[in-house]
Amino acid sequence: MNLPQNIKLPVSSLSRIFENTTATYKFYWFVAIMDIVVKEHKTRISFWEIIAGMIAESWYPIHYFKLSFGKSDSLFVKSLEIQKEYKISIESDKEKIKNLLVDNLKETKKFLKIFSINVPYRFLSPWIRYTYDEEVIAKSQLFENNALYAIYNDEIVINDLWVEYLTKHYKILRDFAFWNLTEFLQKRNPNVPDVPSKLIKPIQRDSLTKQRKYWDSYIEITGGINCIYTGKNIIAKEYDLDHFVPWSFVSHNLLWNLIPSDPSVNSAKSNNLPQLDKYLQPFASLHQDAMKILYEKNMNNKIFEDYLIIYDSIPDLINLSKSDFFNVFMRTFSPMVQIAENMGFKKWQL
Give the model confidence (pLDDT) of 122-150 as tens digits: 999 999 998 899 999 999 999 999 999 99
Q: Which of 140, 169, 198 finishes a domain? A: 198
Instruction: State the Cα–Cα distance between residues 33 and 38, nearest whole angstrom.
Output: 9
Do residues 255 and 132 share a domain?
Answer: no
Do residues 94 and 15 share a domain?
Answer: yes
Amino acid making up residue 107: E
Q: Evaluate whether residue 232 is within a structural domain.
A: yes
Do residues 87 and 135 share a domain?
Answer: yes
Q: Evaluate whether residue 33 is within a structural domain.
A: yes
Q: Domain span at residue 243?
A: 209-343
Give pLDDT tens digits along the chain (350 positions).
Answer: 789 999 999 999 999 999 989 999 999 999 999 999 999 999 999 999 999 999 999 999 999 999 999 878 999 999 999 999 999 998 899 999 999 999 999 988 999 999 999 999 999 999 999 889 999 999 999 999 999 999 999 999 999 999 999 999 999 999 999 999 999 999 999 999 999 999 988 767 788 999 999 999 999 999 999 999 999 999 988 899 999 999 999 999 999 999 999 998 878 998 899 999 999 999 999 999 999 999 999 999 999 999 999 999 999 999 999 999 999 999 999 999 999 999 999 999 87
Q: Evaluate whether residue 5 is within a structural domain.
A: no
Residue 149, H or E segment: strand 149-152
Strands 44-46, 225-226: pairing is unpaired
Task: Note the residue count of the chain.
Answer: 350
Residue 219 near residue 225 (C-beta atoms within 8 A): yes
Q: Which of 198, 219, 249 finishes a domain? A: 198
DSSP states of 27-47 as a string? HHHHHHHHHHHHHH--SEEEH
Q: Evaluate whether residue 348 is within a structural domain.
A: no
Do residues 64 and 213 share a domain?
Answer: no
Q: Evaluate whether residue 6 is within a structural domain.
A: no
**Secondary structure (3-state) at 162:** helix
Beta-carbon contacts of residue 338 (< 8 Å; ≥ 6 apart): none
Do residues 214 and 186 share a domain?
Answer: no
Beta-carbon contacts of residue 322 (< 8 Å; ≥ 6 apart): 285, 288
Could you tell me how far CA 272 lies from the centroid of its own chain?
Answer: 16
Do residues 170 and 222 share a domain?
Answer: no
Do residues 152 and 275 share a domain?
Answer: no
Q: Evaluate whether residue 234 is within a structural domain.
A: yes
Could you tell me how far CA 338 lies from the centroid of its own chain?
Answer: 19
Residue 276, CA distances (Å) to 65, 214, 222, 250, 320 in order: 21, 24, 25, 16, 20
Q: Which residues pair with 157 in a beta bridge?
A: 44, 150
Do residues 133 and 215 share a domain?
Answer: no
Q: Any idea what DSSP says for residue 1?
A: -
Residue 32 near residue 54 (C-beta atoms within 8 A): yes
**Secondary structure (3-state) at 242:** strand
Do residues 62 and 110 share a domain?
Answer: yes
Do residues 136 and 263 share a domain?
Answer: no
The count of structural domains within the chain is 2
Residue 31: exposed, middle, or buried by beta-carbon count in 10 A (0-12, 13-18, 19+)? buried
What pTM, to 2 d.p., does this model score?
0.87
Do residues 29 and 146 share a domain?
Answer: yes
Per-residue model confidence as pLDDT tens digits over 21-32 = 999 999 999 999
CA angle 246–250–255, rounded 5-degree value: 85
Q: Angle at which helices 25-40 and 170-188 pack, to 10 degrees?
A: 160
Do residues 221 and 288 share a domain?
Answer: yes
| CB crowding 254-269: b at 16 or more within 10 Å, else e | bbbbbbbbbeebbeeb
Strands 258-261, 44-46: pairing is unpaired
Q: Evaluate whether residue 2 is within a structural domain.
A: no
Neighbours of 66 (CB within 10 A): 20
Q: Which of 145, 178, 198 finishes a domain? A: 198
Q: Evaluate whether residue 349 is within a structural domain.
A: no
**Secondary structure (3-state) at 114:** helix
Residue 61, pLDDT score: 95
